[in-house]
Amino acid sequence: MTGKTSAKGRTEVTAYEPVTYEAPPDGPRLNEVQLTETFTGDLEGEGTARVLQAQWPDGSVRYCTIERVAGTLAGRTGTFLLQVDGAVQGTHNTGAWSVVAGSGTGGLRGLRGDGGFEAEHGRHGSWRLNYWFD
């Protein structure tokens, strides 16, 4: 393992397509979202994800996601997976993520890390990642 490095940047959502797949009369409805976003900053690339959401009548949301990111980090190019756990209150979206161990390809093989983000729901935000390579 090499030492941890901090990275940060911005995201811009380029596609956000929610579909409700269960809407019970009592309790939160369940949605699946197809998401595409662009990463800029210390990581340059694009992420694609399927987001599973529980959405309450007041509009608040809890969600989990697996996102494949294809891009360049620290001069290394490849792909990796992020596992995301997040929440939305109003239009404020916050989440924590970690790199899925063993998911890195190409120059990003061995990537590990964790971090998170804050965003305007379905639009843009800022992210951070503390990472290292095994």
Q: Which residues contact 52 (CB under 8 A, 6 or more apart)?
A: 30, 31, 32, 63, 64, 65
Residue 1 has pLDDT above 60, yes or no: no
Q: Which domains does the chain have, with CATH numbers?
A: 10-128 (2.40.350.10)
pLDDT tier at 124, thresholds 50, 70, 90: confident
Supply the pLDDT for residue 121: 74
- Per-residue pLDDT, averaged over 80-89, amounts to 97
Give 100-113 pLDDT, tens digit per residue. Answer: 999 999 999 999 99
Task: Determine the Cα–Cα distance for residues 3 and 15; give it in Å rounded to an integer.
Answer: 35
Which pTM does this prediction carry? 0.93
Q: Residue 64's Cα: distance from chain center in Å?
A: 9
